[in-house]
Homo-oligomer: A and B are copies of this chain.
Amino acid sequence: MKSDSLSSEESSANARGLTHFHGVGETLEGYRGKSLALLKRFGLSVGQQIRIVSKDRTETLGLLLPRYHGADDEHIVLKLKSGYNIGVNIASIDSIQIVEEEGKTGESSSFQGQVASKSIKSKEERVSGQEKVVSLLSTGGTIASKIDYVTGAVHPALSAEDLYAAIPELGRIADVRPELLFSIFSEDMEAKHWQTIAEKAIEKAQSGSDGVVIMSGTDILGILSAALSFALLGIDVPVVCVGSQRSSDRPSSDSALNLLGAVRFASTSEVPGVFVAMHASTSDDSIAIHLGTRVRKNHTSRRDAFQSIDIEPFAFVRGDELEYIGRPLQEEQKQKSIATKAAIDANLKFRTRFDSSVSLVKFYPGFNPRILDFLLEDLHARGIILEGTGLGHVSSKTVSKISELTKEGVFVGMTSQCIWGSVDLNVYRTGRDLLQAGVTPLANMLAETALAKLSWALGNFSSDLIKEIMTTNLCGEIVPRLVL
């Protein structure tokens, strides 16, 4: 088996148009020429569990996947138990066996006992009274996308059902109940979608789901999870947002493993709240579970692009195991419980409305404060989150303008474009002037989290409560400042 087979698969997938991904068990979809001949010779069809023995006696066990039309005829693609797909160069193959039943073939394979017997269980077979029920809500994004036949680009297409058919392991973790909420590009998702998703999650939690998993595009996963964290305050099940950085029908896709991690956490964790599940590293050995209010996409393309900011990830899923992180977890866990209780006490529970008259403004040298006039006068902004420099600074002339806005009743909150660390308006004179101008410093709240929280606060509470709500930690959005 050549390790270069992956990159070859990857590049061919990128370069050409692809047909629809048909799920499993039907045909030899997409195979042609030499690879098709080989599969026919062994009497195989897509969807079967097979064991490939290579010429160097390495064995690989996995589910035979369909290929893209237009892909080369030198590889066959397997989905491994890890959830990862690999392309195997047929020149390296000595023989292929069908894995008929559990325990029947190949004592040398360490994960042989865990693969499906004959075929993929039907939904009816999977469901049993013993299993945890996890609702799987699909909203679009790469995790539910395929490559466009015409342009070669990736766009949303696969429904949650399609994915469920493609990842039979899901059925061994929980009774997963997929539902397509909508299918949009994540960059088109707005406050109104947050509300729809929140209300559906509440409905699922109240109708018996042990956990909810929400599939979305990674571009806005951080702000979505933040928005849901506030709208779902007081929820008593885990809600896990998940995406993938690579399209689900490409060999290096992280969608299966991320989804398995999300479902594992949603069905196992005893800690309620909103989280994000994504690759913890470039390898496939663990999925990080991040607190929904403290996570950010910090790389455009890496599978481990998501990072918890100023805290450790909440937990890791490694294979079948759920591993909570020591000290930070326990504190967060405690905070979480307090937050949940406080939310109920303060009647913050299930406030799902969002006000869209909010803006995020990043300051930069030469920033023209008249932009703030425009937000107030033309867009009727009720709230603005500033991304200041360093500890939370803007130019002197911007300070004067802000003062005019706050006098008009606009809430202006300060965050930092540094990403890590806390704003502090007491260190420099500019900071003091900002306080004087009525700016509310938001500690180490992420800018996107602050925007989502402000939209939520304005959507559900009267103006006189906004400042208190924004500066009170409700669900981990403000973490104790670390002195370093």
Residues of A within 8 A of B (CB): 7, 142, 148, 151, 153-155, 185-191, 217-220, 223-224, 282, 297-302, 305, 356, 358-368, 370-371, 374-375, 378-379, 387-396, 416, 418-424, 426-432, 444, 448, 451, 455, 483-484
Contacts and interface: CB of A to CB of B under 8 A. Distances in A.
Nearest to A184: B396
Question: Which of A218, A299, A359 counts the most B-chain CB atoms under 10 A from its CB?
Answer: A299
A382 B422 CA distance: 34
A119 to B, nearest CB: 34
A419 B305 CA distance: 10
A448 B387 CA distance: 13
B370 A299 contact: no
A122 B364 CA distance: 41
A232 to B, nearest CB: 17
B389 A187 contact: yes
B428 A154 contact: yes
B365 A421 contact: no
Contacts of A365: 187, 189-191, 220, 223-224
Nearest to A421: B300
B422 A419 contact: no
Contacts of A431: 153
Contact of A421 (B142, B302, B419): B302
A352 B456 CA distance: 46
A87 to B, nearest CB: 16
B360 A362 contact: yes
Given A301-B391, A356-B366, 16 more contacts: A151-B429, A155-B428, A187-B363, A187-B365, A187-B388, A187-B390, A187-B430, A190-B365, A217-B390, A219-B389, A302-B421, A305-B421, A359-B371, A371-B375, A374-B378, A419-B419
A362 B390 contact: no
B358 A366 contact: yes
B422 A301 contact: yes
Contacts of A366: 190-191, 356, 358, 455
B187 A298 contact: no
A185 B155 contact: no
Nearest to A297: B418
A7 B448 CA distance: 33
B359 A362 contact: no
B301 A424 contact: yes
B419 A298 contact: yes
A426 to B, nearest CB: 7
Nearest to A358: B366
